[in-house]
């Protein structure tokens, strides 16, 4: 009960959002419907645990004495998000307000490299990010690692398969240098979808979020909850057969979406495979498309058509409120949206479907690592006793 009330009080302060006027203990009591004495005791505990701060405010003129204003702490408890991409490593630290305070990103060709080597490198990046966070007065309370692979529901800390890295059954702890800081792996598409739900101004309650990097993943949020499927494999959009007799995929099947709308396929179709090896291939695609480069425009149109076909199946099966294009697709949305929307309009005929129900994510490629970092914050907000008592 007290645990729940701690969460309610912390949530009320967080919901106050951008400070229009100072929020007092009495204000919080009025909002949450508890007595002022009960709220004061809860606030004291939350201050002790480092979740809230209380500052003197300047007298506001009307009342002669200074007030005291509560806010969610921007020092103390923090969440670390890590990400292993096919072509990069990333780290992010968010404070208890959910605000990113530290970002790290390093380009790395991770495909086919041994898991131990990559995990040692991301551990080093994590240590750097934690050190920088410490300098800001932040203390990392939880660590989550976004990976481009499946993380089964039943296996703790194990990446079952990451096809684009060519990894199978990798236990993260087995390769982590410091057993006190081992992160919990989670599928990057799942984390991207959660980040969208937590951060979008008007997030749908039931939506399909597509999160493309080198591979294509998707995740289903149903009634505000991530739907992981029976084994944790739900949302495997990249291997939906869009053209059954089409191109052979690395997975062994033919005509998978990834062979038409994956980053490598788009670069190849645009004739930019060589150029793509230096610098940021997504920036390159955007630049060429913006300049009217016909093969790039054709490749993006083809990708959008294939994506529209796969998403038509998702709409038919799941009946979501919306579809969100995240990851690299968010940055290429200008050229993808028209063809994806056209394909959806052609395919979804029995039931109503509005073109605007498909939208790009505002987070783009930062989604998964941000979601990884915010996972810890969400857990603390739901149960502040996870924080050490002051």
Residues binding a copy of itself: number (CB under 8 A):
48
Quick one: which of 204, 203, 208, 190 has its CA closest to 315?
A: 208
- The alpha-carbon radius of gyration of the chain (Å, integer) is 23
Under the criterion CB under 8 A, does residue 137 sit at the interface with a copy of itself?
A: no
Alpha carbon 198 to its chain centroid, in Å, reads: 9
**8 Å CB contact between 129 and 91:** yes
**8 Å CB contact between 47 and 70:** no
Under the criterion CB under 8 A, does residue 342 sit at the interface with a copy of itself?
A: no
Under the criterion CB under 8 A, does residue 58 sit at the interface with a copy of itself?
A: no
Beta strands in the chain (DSSP E): 52-56, 68-72, 76-84, 88-95, 100-107, 138-147, 158-162, 167-171, 184-187, 207-212, 216-222, 225-227, 322-327, 358-360
Residue of 81, 142, 148, 163 that binds a copy of itself (CB under 8 A): 163
Under the criterion CB under 8 A, does residue 168 sit at the interface with a copy of itself?
A: no
Under the criterion CB under 8 A, does residue 247 sit at the interface with a copy of itself?
A: no
Under the criterion CB under 8 A, does residue 231 sit at the interface with a copy of itself?
A: yes
Tokens of 283: 């920036």
From the CB of 352, what's the least distance to a copy of itself, in Å? 8
Under the criterion CB under 8 A, does residue 218 sit at the interface with a copy of itself?
A: yes
Q: Identify the DSSP state of 248.
A: B
Under the criterion CB under 8 A, does residue 154 sit at the interface with a copy of itself?
A: no
- The β-bridge partners of 218 are 210
Under the criterion CB under 8 A, does residue 242 sit at the interface with a copy of itself?
A: yes
| Distant-in-sequence, close-in-space partners of 382: CB < 8 Å, separation ≥ 6 | 7
The stretch near a copy of itself (CB under 8 A) out of 58-66, 79-87, 329-337, 340-348 is 340-348
Under the criterion CB under 8 A, does residue 318 sit at the interface with a copy of itself?
A: yes
Task: Write the binding mask 349 to 388 for a copy of itself: x where contact by CB under 8 A, - elsewhere.
Answer: xxxx------------------------------------
- The β-bridge partners of 167 are 162
**Among all chains, which residue has been given the structure tokens 């979008």?**
200
Quick one: which of 197, 199, 198 has its CA closest to 209?
A: 197
Residue of 230, 291, 292, 389 that binds a copy of itself (CB under 8 A): 230
From the CB of 28, what's the least distance to a copy of itself, in Å? 34
| Distant-in-sequence, close-in-space partners of 133: CB < 8 Å, separation ≥ 6 | 78, 80, 93, 101, 102, 139, 140
From the CB of 291, what's the least distance to a copy of itself, in Å? 30
Residue 5 or 313: which CB sits closer to a copy of itself? 313
Under the criterion CB under 8 A, does residue 312 sit at the interface with a copy of itself?
A: yes
From the CB of 348, what's the least distance to a copy of itself, in Å? 8
How far apart are the two ends of the chain, measured CA to CA in Å? 20
Residue of 19, 30, 247, 251 that binds a copy of itself (CB under 8 A): 251
Residue of 193, 237, 333, 340 that binds a copy of itself (CB under 8 A): 237
Binding residues for a copy of itself (CB under 8 A): 150, 161, 163, 205-206, 218, 220, 222, 227-237, 239-244, 249, 251-254, 309-310, 312-314, 316-321, 346-352
């Amino acid at each position: 009960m007290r645990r729940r009330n701690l969460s309610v009080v912390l949530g009320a302060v967080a919901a106050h959002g951008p400070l229009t006027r100072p929020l007092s203990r009495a204000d919080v009591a009025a909002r949450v419907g508890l007595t002022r004495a009960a709220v004061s005791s809860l606030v004291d505990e939350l201050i002790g645990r480092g979740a809230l701060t209380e500052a003197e405010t300047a007298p506001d003129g009307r009342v002669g004495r200074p007030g005291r204003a509560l806010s969610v702490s921007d020092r103390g408890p923090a969440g670390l998000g890590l990400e292993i991409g096919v072509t990069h490593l990333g780290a992010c630290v968010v404070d208890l307000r959910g605000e990113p305070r530290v970002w790290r990103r390093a380009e790395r060709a991770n495909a086919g490299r041994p898991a131990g080597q990559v995990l040692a490198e991301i551990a080093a990046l994590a240590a750097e990010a934690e050190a920088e966070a410490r300098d800001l007065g932040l203390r990392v309370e939880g660590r989550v690692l976004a990976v481009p692979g499946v993380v089964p529901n039943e296996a703790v800390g194990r990446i079952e398969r990451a096809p684009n890295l060519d990894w199978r059954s990798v236990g993260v702890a087995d390769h982590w240098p410091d057993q006190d800081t081992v992160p919990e792996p989670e599928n990057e598409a799942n984390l991207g979808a959660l980040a969208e739900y937590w951060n979008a101004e008007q997030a749908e309650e039931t939506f399909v979020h597509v999160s493309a990097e080198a591979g294509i993943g998707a995740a289903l949020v149903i009634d505000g909850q991530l739907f992981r499927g029976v084994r944790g494999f739900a949302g495997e959009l990249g291997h939906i057969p869009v053209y059954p007799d089409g191109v052979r995929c690395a997975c062994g099947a033919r005509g998978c979406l990834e062979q038409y709308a994956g980053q490598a396929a788009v670069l190849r179709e645009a004739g930019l495979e060589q150029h793509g090896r230096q610098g940021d291939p997504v920036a390159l695609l955007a630049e060429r498309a913006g300049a009217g480069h016909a093969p790039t425009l054709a490749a993006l149109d083809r990708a959008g058509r294939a994506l529209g076909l796969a998403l038509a199946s998702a709409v038919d099966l799941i009946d979501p409120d919306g579809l969100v294009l995240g990851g690299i697709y968010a940055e290429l949305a200008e050229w993808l949206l028209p063809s994806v929307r056209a394909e959806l309009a052609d395919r979804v005929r029995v039931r109503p479907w509005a073109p605007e129900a498909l939208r790009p994510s505002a987070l783009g490629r930062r989604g998964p690592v941000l979601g990884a970092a915010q996972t810890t914050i969400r857990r603390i907000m739901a149960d502040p006793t996870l924080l050490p008592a002051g």
